[in-house]
Chain A
Amino acid sequence: MGKIVLKANEICKSYKNGVNKLNVLNGLSLLIEDGEMITIMGQSGSGKSTALNILGTLDKPDSGNLEIKGIDTDTLNNKDIAKLRNRDIGFIFQFHHLLPEFTALENVLIPTWIKGEFDFEAKVIDLFQTLGVADRIHHFPNELSGGERSRVATIRAIINKPCVLFADEPTGNLDEKNSTKLIDLLGQINRDFNQSIVITTHNPEIASIGNKQYKLEEGLLNKV
């Protein structure tokens, strides 16, 4: 058994819409070990993004407990959670969310700036070359193709060597060719850097790449 990097226990989350209450997560529990590739499959609206947001500390659960690298996130203040997010969590969003005001290189460097490290440029350029987007380094997001954007977003997500990388339907906005490329890339990152990755998807083919595969149904994770 590898080192546990994330432990979620009995996570519940609901949303209120006027008088109606929508229970999205009903006691979700998950254990992520070092170097694992986990896929979570679910229908649209099943709560995949909500689950990932909570696991990635972007949102707070109504109840339940989340530990990252053995630290209970409930005991941390906002500043420490931000620090944890910066150092130990990486995100790849469905719509890449690259900042339009910054070049590809700057977008990737922002997490390192936040960390307080300002000499990453050479290393980042290497990564751009490895991922085949070196010629796009000084381009703005609107000058990049969908595939290029997703690769830049991937570099940004792993630049601080997080202990866990969350990818929320990363292929949702890509064509088949680019989807395959991105999934291959994530697999390569998982193998080469022993990077723990959690991918949500509604595509069974993509879900099949996980060492552990889960299905999110009625707010609970069921192992496939």
Chain B
Amino acid sequence: MNWEKYISERFYISSNKQGKHLGVLSMIGMGIGCFAMIVSISVMNGFETMVHGKLKGIEGDISILGNPEEKILNKVDGVTEIMPFMERKGIIEVNDISRVASIKAIDETKMDRFYNLNFIGDIPQLGQIVIGQDLANRLGKGIGEDLFAYSPVDQTVGLAIPHKKKLKISGIFSTRLLDYDERLVFISLKDGQSIFKRKYKIDGYDLMTSKVSTNIIKQELIKKLGLEYPVYTWDEKNKSLVSAMKMERLGTFVVLSLIFLVAAFNLAANLTLISIQKMKEVGVIRAMGAPTGSIYKMIILLGYKRAGTGLLVGFLCGLIIVILQNQFKIIPLPSSIYFIDSLPMLLYASDILIILIVSFLFILVASILSGRKLISTQISESLQWVK
């Protein structure tokens, strides 16, 4: 028999009669804290996953620089798609307007499978180019119109004048992510090899991977290829973006923890009040030989009973919101501003665990703080306590 729980429950019932409103406020506080934490963290996760998905659709999960044998890459577990590429900064020119862009030459036969670009038009065949929506707007050009592309960086002809290649716009993509729509263009690998005169016919490979961790695959690639070929995962290629998202996530977590902290103070005040009300009763139980640990256990159980209900309700409400949003998209976003049409929400088991641990930790600390008065008072004093 858990006698501490039994006594704590009786104290809970009698304290409810005396301090019901304060108890309800404690519950609400903890509930709101938990709810806000779940919703915010799931939104952060949702955006993060969405951004990752978009980036993956443009750059793949892993990039290898250099010219290793493609068949070696095929043998690595978890690699699902391989896209050879050449990439250089170059100029896109139409009449008097010119723009700097990253010209990426790719194997056009794999473009459909590899990229997820929200793309209209056709994949670029020989003599064709696919450009981003923003670049198209700035150049004032659309599908079927011509432009010139050249790379002054690594190739000159005659009097240091780069070779301009006339290309027809075969498609326009719109990622709405960072500045990709303005700075990235795709051409076929053959066109790339004519614009960029290089020793090797490709600069590297973008890889798509299965659900296996990209870091594990990266290690496997390094093991197979050696250190001669640099290997980057998507988060290494986008370090600043990833660290910004991590900071944002941490900031959100800390700020929302403050809601919990305030709720925990409220709980501590409530439990202290109950402790003072029950000083004499606890004194009697201590006189009967209850050890300090049991008294703490009682007050902690009381704390969990008080705040736990609110916590559970807040947790369930948060969870329901996340599920409803994923199923029915109840919170829409203007797709003209964002690259998505509804608020993305995603909750990982690890986040739930962290939120629950933080919440329970706050309740534990609040309960221990309020129990200190009970323990520090001499039993003889407690027995004479006047309510």
Cα distance A100–B7 in the bound complex, in angstroms: 11
Judge whether A85 and B287 touch: CB under 8 Å: yes
Q: Are B1 and A113 in contact (CB under 8 A)?
A: yes
Closest-by-CB residue of B relative to A84 is B289
Contact check, B289 vs A85: say whether CB atoms are below 8 A apart.
yes
| Chain B, interface residues (CB within 8 Å), range | 20 to 34
- For A58, the chain B residues whose CB sits under 8 A away are 287, 378-380, 383
Interface centre among A87, A102, A110 (most CB of B within 10 A): A110
Interface string of B256-297 (1 = CB under 8 A from A): 000000000000000000000000110111111111111000
Query: At the interface, yes or no: B14 with Cβ under 8 Å from chain A?
Result: yes
A110-B281 CB under 8 A given contacts A59-B379, A79-B292, A83-B291: no
A111: CB under 8 A from chain B? yes
Query: Chain B's nearest CB lies how many Å from the CB of A205?
Result: 26
Chain B nearest CB: distance from A25 CB in Å? 13
Query: Which A residues lie within 8 Å of B294 (CB)?
Result: 114
Q: Could you tell me which residues of chain A, from 156 to 186, have a CB within 8 Å of some CB in chain B? A: 156, 160
Q: Does B13 contact A (CB under 8 A)?
A: yes
Query: When the two chains form the complex, which single residue of B11, B288, B293, B383 contacts A110, counting CB atoms closer than 8 Å?
Result: B288
A101/B14 in contact, CB under 8 A: yes
Q: How far is the CA of A49 from the CA of B379 in the complex (A)?
A: 13
**B10 interface contact, C-beta 8 A:** yes
A82 near B281 (CB under 8 angstroms)? no
A109 to chain B, nearest CB (A): 9
Contact B1 A118 (CB under 8 A): yes
| Cα(A171)–Cα(B238), bound, Å | 82
- Describe A's contact surface by its main secondary structure: helix
Contact in complex: B289, A82 (CB < 8 Å): yes
Docked-complex contact B280 and A97, CB < 8 angstroms:
yes
Proximity string of chain A (40-64) to chain B, C-beta cutoff 8 Å, 1 when within and 0 when not: 0000000001100100101110000
Q: Is B200 an interface residue (CB 8 A)?
A: no
Please give the distance in Å from B300's CB to the nearest CB on chain A: 17
Complex Cα spacing A93 to B379, Å: 13
Interface hits, B1-38 → A, CB 8 Å: 1, 3, 6-7, 10-11, 13-14
* A90-117 CB contacts (< 8 Å) to partner B: 91, 93, 97, 99-102, 110-111, 113-115
Q: How far is the CA of A85 from the CA of B283 in the complex (A)?
A: 13
User: Given the complex, which residues of A lie within 8 Å of B281, measured CB to CB?
Assistant: 99-101
What A residues does B291 contact at CB under 8 A?
A: 78-79, 82-83
A56 to B1, CA, bound (A): 27
B289 and A87 contact, CB distance less than 8 A: yes
A86 within 8 A of B: yes
Cα A97 to Cα B11 with chains together (Å): 16
Supposing A78-B292, A111-B288 touch, asked if A101 and B11 sit within 8 A by C-beta, the answer is yes
What residues of B have a CB within 8 angstroms of the CB of A110 in the complex? Answer: 3, 7, 285, 288
Complex formed: what's the CA distance from A97 to B284 in Å?
7
Partner of B10, one of A50, A102, A156, A160: A102
| Interchain CB contact under 8 A, B14 and A82 | no
CB distance from A146 to the nearest CB of B (A): 18
Task: Give the complex CA separation of A99 and B3 in angstroms.
Answer: 14
Alpha-carbon gap, A156 to B383, bound state (A): 16
**CB neighbours of B3 from chain A (8 A):** 110, 113-114, 118
Interface residues of B in 212-239 (CB under 8 A from A): none
Cβ contact within 8 Å between B289 and A111: yes
Asked whether, in the complex, the Cβ of A59 is within 8 Å of the Cβ of B380, the reply is yes
8 Å CB contacts to A: which residues of B277-329?
A: 280-281, 283-294
Q: Which residues in window 113-138 of A have CB below 8 A to B?
A: 113-115, 118
The residue in chain A whose Cβ has the minimal distance to the Cβ of B288 is: A111
Assembly CA distance A83 to B288 (angstroms):
9
- Inter-subunit contact A101/B288 (CB<8 Å): no
- Please, how many angstroms separate the alpha-carbon atoms of A160 and B284 in the complex? 15
Measured CA separation A87–B288 after assembly (Å)? 9
User: Is B292 touching A82 in the complex (CB atoms < 8 A)?
Assistant: yes
In whole Å, how far is A49's beta carbon from the nearest beta carbon of chain B? 8
Of B3, B280, B288, B383, chain A has the most CB atoms within 10 Å of the CB of: B288
Contact between B288 and A114, CB atoms less than 8 A apart: yes
Q: Which A residue sits closest to B15, measured CB to CB?
A: A101
- Residue among B6, B284, B289, B380 with the highest chain A CB neighbour number at 10 A: B289
A91 to B289: give the CA distance in the assembly, Å: 11
Query: Whose C-beta in chain B lies nearest to the C-beta of A111?
Result: B288
Task: Report the separation of the CA atoms of residues A121 and B214 in the bound assembly, to the nearest whole angstrom.
Answer: 64
Interface contacts beyond A82-B289, A82-B290, A82-B292: sample of 11 additional A-B pairs, CB < 8 Å, sorted by A: A58-B378, A82-B291, A89-B289, A91-B287, A97-B280, A99-B281, A100-B14, A102-B7, A113-B1, A114-B289, A160-B289
Nearest 5 A-B pairs (CB), nearest first?
A86-B289, A113-B3, A101-B10, A53-B380, A82-B291
A-B contact pairs, 26 of them (CB 8 A): A53-B380, A56-B287, A58-B378, A59-B378, A59-B379, A79-B292, A82-B290, A83-B289, A84-B289, A85-B288, A86-B288, A86-B290, A87-B289, A97-B280, A97-B284, A99-B281, A99-B284, A101-B281, A102-B10, A110-B285, A110-B288, A113-B6, A114-B285, A114-B288, A118-B3, A156-B288
